[in-house]
Chain A
Amino acid sequence: MKLLLIEDDMATAGHIIKSLHQHGHVVDHAQNGRDGLFLAGGETYDVMIVDRMLPGLDGLGIVKTIRGAGVKTPVLFLTTLGGIDDRVEGLEAGGDDYLVKPFAFAELIARVNALARRSSPTEVQTLLRVADLELDLLKRSVARGGKRIDLQPQEFKLLEYLMRHSGRVVTRTMLLESVWEFHFDPQTTVVETHISRLRSKIDQGFGGPLIHTVRGAGYCVREAA
């Protein structure tokens, strides 16, 4: 993937670029808002990673400008710690996701992957399928190997999110935000508990496990290799 990183802190930027390179991505880097805007408007990227606070032109301004110019590239905002309003502002300005600094690199790569997937033009899916697991969004039913599985509404939502991102790592935070709408870190094992319940329904008594734990990163739904 070709990515654009607009970040003024050289240490952070260097770290991100190095890690993204290791994952096989091509990264353009701009150190200030104006260069960033220039690159964002001129080149085509799969995902843009934009810091909120930049010298020259701030992140919000850049995204507003390129959205105004019709650029639809997914944008991931990097925000400062603790800002409750930052997320809302970022999303209103045209951002697609946000990540609070400091962040684990696994979190960044998972979110970048999720955004890149979103950008590819997909028809409205009503049936999600991973191996022999099927999730029908219209009937709101789940079946594996033709056998119907009863899920609680929250479990359904959790599985739907995992299956939409099948083959990719989904972090705990991403699940908390999108399934439970928790924009904070709970002190109890909410995600783990529900994943284990879902596993007991989806994976137990069937062929291979489909929900995999990726150590230090999150979960992934994919066919057992």
Chain B
Amino acid sequence: MKPPRFIRTTSFRLTALYAGLFAASAAVLFGIVYWVTGGVLHEQVRLSLQSEMASLEAEGSGDFPAEVKVRLASPSPQPFYYSLQDSSGRPIAGNLAALDTIEGWRELPNSAELGAATAPEKGDHDLLALGRRLPGGSFLTVATDTYRVRKAEDAIARSFAWAAGATILLALVGGMTLSQGFLRRVDEINRATSAIMRGDLANRIQTTGTGDELDQLGRNLNAMLDRVQGLMDGLKQVSNDIAHDLRTPLSRLKQGLEEGRLEATSVQDYEQAVDQALEDADIALSTFGALLRIAQIESGTRRANFVELDLSSLLATLATTYSAVAEDLGKTLTSSVDVGHYVRGDRELLTQLFVNLIENALRHTPAGATVGMSLRKNEHGLIADVFDDGPGIPETEHENVFRRFYRLEASRSTPGSGLGLALVASVADLHSAPIELADNCPGLRVTLQFNACARHSSFRSPPIKKTAVQTWGKRLLKSLSAPDVPNRHESDRKQLGKDMACIPEHYASKVPEVTLGFWIIKILATTLGETGGDTVTMTMDLGYLTGTAIFLSALVVLVAIQIAAKKFHPFLYWSVIVASTTAGTTMADFATRSLGIGYTGGSLLLFACLMAVLGLWYWRLGSTSVETVNTPKVEAFYWAAITFSQTLGTALGDWIADTGGLGYQGGALVFAAGLAALAAAYYWTDVSRVLLFWAAFILTRPLGATLGDFLDKPLDHGGLALSRPLASAVIAAVMIVCILILPQRAGDHPQRSEQTAGGA
């Protein structure tokens, strides 16, 4: 069986590795501390025994039994045990049973068996004893209890075990969280790519808009898919074209050959048939070549070979070349080309573009016609025109003539493949030069708008077309605001110019997306609210009323700033949350303790308030259609509901702990169980997400309070004994780190989308 997927992810493995490293370094640290501290403690004990022995020897040099008795009688800060034995080993004085008379240090196993009179604490009491043969033959043993030393060592070991356990647990939870978040987005990419592999080429990867690496990857993949789809479309088009339009010349070729085979009687006839066949084959081949050429141009690979080139001289040379040709055809070619205009492009293709336009004009106009070409600068760049005074093209056909093999009825008789203008269009597109057909009154005017490029200024990129930027921006917004709709492939060249619609200004949500990260930061914020609130009301001893006043005004100011803000700022948003939870803490304490309503009444009152706010909100939104989610009114409701739910959470926590008699730990268990139930409901049922969100919002509050208590309660009560200001600072730091590390993006809160749906 394979392990669960998150265990196989890179981020989880890294986390596990880090957890292992942390555990190992904690173990090394513990070993050193344990060894050094233990050594020092034991040394202390030995020193005290030695000094006791020395003082006894000095002071009791006359009468040792009397001195031992005196010492036993007097209350000493370091309780010693004594045993004085005569030279035969019989006990003379002391509170220890008879011992083997061994000089120097030794451990005595159990004080009870040795007859030690009093043990200060219960438990195993090992004694450390120092024995010495006194002058006169008697043997003195002084011993002391090592219980406290061992207890201290145990305490060190225990605290390290807890710390190591907590470190590993945190590292694992963090790893799971990170890898789950990461996995969800990788899954999204996998889902989209497998859908594409199944043939749904229009499918695209959803991007989150955060701009991080995964988002970048998604966007690049999407761009790549757009490109691939464009190429596939092009290929399909070419295949269709070949299938449809090469059949004609090829069947004509075959017919001609068959005719020749059947009907030719002389060498002359055969030669004629062969010549005709060669001609037909040439036509088919040139059509084929032109098609492949267009396909290659449309693949866009030529863009890599773009160079800065003198468009003016290119056009001037063509004008010279073709004025002679025009003259021979009985037509006139005029040109007015401004000198010194440069573009970035492919010389060969641009030459072909203009040759096609000029030759088109020459071929589709009657004798005596005038064909003109011009190049001039305008505010957008360079305008290149090729125009004639011939019959022109009807306006309704303007779009069609760029299609492959499309030929106007009037020109069916003139030779040509119907690919000339299609090639012009693809070259123009390659150069991002919009092409336009217009009536020259009479005749046709083809206008190309190029991006000018200043000579020798390769560092300055040509100005990006406004339309393209706006289309891009619109697409980005579309992907941000409606993530379920895959970006549609917009390949239509003509559409590009028409996409001039402006971008709506107010669009993005101003509240963060509800993710696991959201809840982690929320709990931290609640904890900070608890410790911060207690700092002001208890440590600074300002009282609940003053505290409430301070925090409520801070909350009002912050909410006003948040409502005024144009878009989602993570730090601003979480500041408001902290302010609301702090105000909630002091407000709840004020209501339940100072006003004397009690926890039960307070909780009920606050629950009623929260329901009222939510009900009012629902009623207001239900009656009005919501177009944008961030109107000030909606936000005011949002923050009111959040503040009340934080307050209710505080009161509820106290109620469960005090009135319910479960204590804070028991309360935390109840709320954790409640949260687990909510999570289960979220994953496995269709219970209203609105309900779940607010329930979770209320229930995470006491969890934060318990965490806060854990931080600032004394050590012997199982806390960390951090001072409240210090605890607040620590949590604030952790929160900032979380906000910076966990992806923060604006998203729809569930109540919004659902209530919007309800109102619609």
Interface residues of A (CB under 8 A from B): 81-85, 88, 100, 102, 152-154, 180-190, 193-194, 196-197
Contacts of B420 in A (CB 8 A): 187
For chain B, the count of residues having a C-beta within 8 Å of the partner chain is: 33
Contact A181 B363 (CB under 8 A): no
Contact partner of B302 among A84, A181, A187, A189, CB < 8 A?
A: A84
B302-324 interface code vs A (CB 8 A; 1 in, 0 out) = 10010000000000010011101
Contacts of A100 in B (CB 8 A): 289
Contact partner of B285 among A81, A88, A194, A197, CB < 8 A?
A: A81
| Given A81-B288, A188-B329, 19 other A-B residues pairs in contact with their CB atoms under 8 A | A81-B285, A82-B296, A83-B292, A84-B296, A84-B297, A84-B349, A88-B305, A181-B351, A182-B352, A183-B348, A184-B352, A184-B355, A187-B416, A187-B420, A188-B322, A188-B325, A188-B362, A190-B321, A193-B328
Cα A102 to Cα B286 with chains together (Å): 10
Cα A188 to Cα B320 with chains together (Å): 14
Cα A182 to Cα B348 with chains together (Å): 7
Contacts of B302 in A (CB 8 A): 84-85
Contact B285 A102 (CB under 8 A): yes
Cα A4 to Cα B549 with chains together (Å): 98
Contacts of B355 in A (CB 8 A): 182, 184, 186
Contacts of B359 in A (CB 8 A): 186-188
Contacts of A188 in B (CB 8 A): 322, 325, 329, 359, 362-363
Cα A180 to Cα B322 with chains together (Å): 11
| B437 in the interface (beta carbon within 8 A) | no
Contact partner of B289 among A82, A85, A152, CB < 8 A?
A: A82
Cα A186 to Cα B360 with chains together (Å): 11
Contacts of B118 in A (CB 8 A): none
Contacts of B328 in A (CB 8 A): 189, 193, 196
- Rounded to whole Å, the gap between the CB of B300 and the closest CB of chain A is 12
- Rounded to whole Å, the gap between the CB of B234 and the closest CB of chain A is 14
Cα A186 to Cα B297 with chains together (Å): 18
Question: Given A186-B355, A187-B420, A82 and B288 touching (CB < 8 A)?
Answer: yes
Cα A139 to Cα B543 with chains together (Å): 104
Cα A84 to Cα B293 with chains together (Å): 7
B330-374 interface code vs A (CB 8 A; 1 in, 0 out) = 000000000000000001110110010001001100000000000
Contact A85 B351 (CB under 8 A): no
Interface centre among A82, A153, A185 (most CB of B within 10 A): A82
| B301 in the interface (beta carbon within 8 A) | yes
Contacts of B291 in A (CB 8 A): 82
List of 5 A-B pairs having minimum Cβ-Cβ separation, nearest first: A82-B292, A82-B289, A193-B325, A187-B359, A193-B328
Between A and B, 13 residue pairs with Cβ closer than 8 Å are A81-B285, A81-B288, A82-B291, A82-B296, A84-B296, A84-B348, A88-B305, A181-B348, A183-B352, A186-B359, A187-B359, A190-B321, A190-B325
Contact A193 B324 (CB under 8 A): yes
Contact A83 B325 (CB under 8 A): no
Contacts of A181 in B (CB 8 A): 347-348, 351
Cα A194 to Cα B325 with chains together (Å): 8
Q: How many A-B contacts are there with CB distance less than 8 Å? A: 68
Interface secondary structure of B, over-half rule? helix
Contact partner of A180 among B297, B321, B363, CB < 8 A?
A: B321
B153-189 interface code vs A (CB 8 A; 1 in, 0 out) = 0000000000000000000000000000000000000
- Rounded to whole Å, the gap between the CB of A216 and the closest CB of chain B is 11
Contacts of B293 in A (CB 8 A): 82, 84, 184
Cα A84 to Cα B292 with chains together (Å): 9
Cα A184 to Cα B416 with chains together (Å): 14
Contacts of B320 in A (CB 8 A): 152-154
Contact B321 A194 (CB under 8 A): yes
Cα A182 to Cα B322 with chains together (Å): 13
Interface centre among B291, B293, B362 (most CB of A within 10 A): B293
Contacts of B362 in A (CB 8 A): 188
Interface centre among A154, A180, A187, A197 (most CB of B within 10 A): A187
Cα A180 to Cα B320 with chains together (Å): 11
Cα A183 to Cα B292 with chains together (Å): 14
B43-58 interface code vs A (CB 8 A; 1 in, 0 out) = 0000000000000000
Q: Which of B42-83 contact A (CB under 8 A)?
A: none
Contacts of A153 in B (CB 8 A): 320
Q: Which of B180-209 contact A (CB under 8 A)?
A: none
- Rounded to whole Å, the gap between the CB of B289 and the closest CB of chain A is 4
Contact A81 B292 (CB under 8 A): yes
- Rounded to whole Å, the gap between the CB of A172 and the closest CB of chain B is 13
Cα A177 to Cα B286 with chains together (Å): 17
Cα A82 to Cα B298 with chains together (Å): 13
| CB-nearest residue of chain A to B318 | A180
| CB-nearest residue of chain B to A183 | B348
Contacts of A190 in B (CB 8 A): 321-322, 325
Question: Given A102-B285, A187-B416, A85 and B321 touching (CB < 8 A)?
Answer: no
Contact B292 A85 (CB under 8 A): no
Contact A194 B324 (CB under 8 A): yes
Cα A34 to Cα B610 with chains together (Å): 85
Cα A180 to Cα B203 with chains together (Å): 47
- Rounded to whole Å, the gap between the CB of A112 and the closest CB of chain B is 22
Q: Which of B269-295 contact A (CB under 8 A)?
A: 285-286, 288-293
| CB-nearest residue of chain B to A87 | B348
Contact B325 A187 (CB under 8 A): no
Cα A84 to Cα B285 with chains together (Å): 15
Contact B324 A83 (CB under 8 A): no
- Rounded to whole Å, the gap between the CB of B371 and the closest CB of chain A is 11
Interface centre among B301, B302, B305, B324 (most CB of A within 10 A): B324
Cα A180 to Cα B321 with chains together (Å): 8
Contact B324 A197 (CB under 8 A): yes
| CB-nearest residue of chain B to A86 | B296
Contact B363 A81 (CB under 8 A): no
Contacts of A193 in B (CB 8 A): 324-325, 328
Contact A85 B296 (CB under 8 A): yes
Contacts of B296 in A (CB 8 A): 82-85
| CB-nearest residue of chain A to B349 | A84
B648-660 interface code vs A (CB 8 A; 1 in, 0 out) = 0000000000000
- Rounded to whole Å, the gap between the CB of A160 and the closest CB of chain B is 16
- Rounded to whole Å, the gap between the CB of B635 and the closest CB of chain A is 58
Cα A51 to Cα B301 with chains together (Å): 23
Contacts of B297 in A (CB 8 A): 84
- Rounded to whole Å, the gap between the CB of A53 and the closest CB of chain B is 15
Contact A85 B288 (CB under 8 A): no
Interface centre among A88, A153, A154, A188 (most CB of B within 10 A): A188
Q: Which of B350-400 contact A (CB under 8 A)?
A: 351-352, 355, 359, 362-363
Contact A85 B325 (CB under 8 A): no
Question: Given A82-B288, A182-B355, A154 and B363 touching (CB < 8 A)?
Answer: no
- Rounded to whole Å, the gap between the CB of A89 and the closest CB of chain B is 11
Contacts of B352 in A (CB 8 A): 182-184
Contacts of A152 in B (CB 8 A): 320
Contact partner of B317 among A154, A183, A185, A189, CB < 8 A?
A: A154
Q: Which of B132-155 contact A (CB under 8 A)?
A: none
Contacts of A185 in B (CB 8 A): 286
| CB-nearest residue of chain A to B324 | A193
Contacts of B329 in A (CB 8 A): 188
Cα A188 to Cα B326 with chains together (Å): 9
Cα A81 to Cα B296 with chains together (Å): 12
Cα A196 to Cα B320 with chains together (Å): 15
| CB-nearest residue of chain B to A194 | B324
Cα A186 to Cα B301 with chains together (Å): 24
- Rounded to whole Å, the gap between the CB of B425 and the closest CB of chain A is 16
Contacts of A84 in B (CB 8 A): 293, 296-297, 302, 348-349
Contacts of A154 in B (CB 8 A): 317, 320-321
Contact B348 A85 (CB under 8 A): no
- Rounded to whole Å, the gap between the CB of A188 and the closest CB of chain B is 5
| CB-nearest residue of chain A to B281 | A102
Cα A197 to Cα B325 with chains together (Å): 10
- Rounded to whole Å, the gap between the CB of B708 and the closest CB of chain A is 69
Cα A186 to Cα B354 with chains together (Å): 11
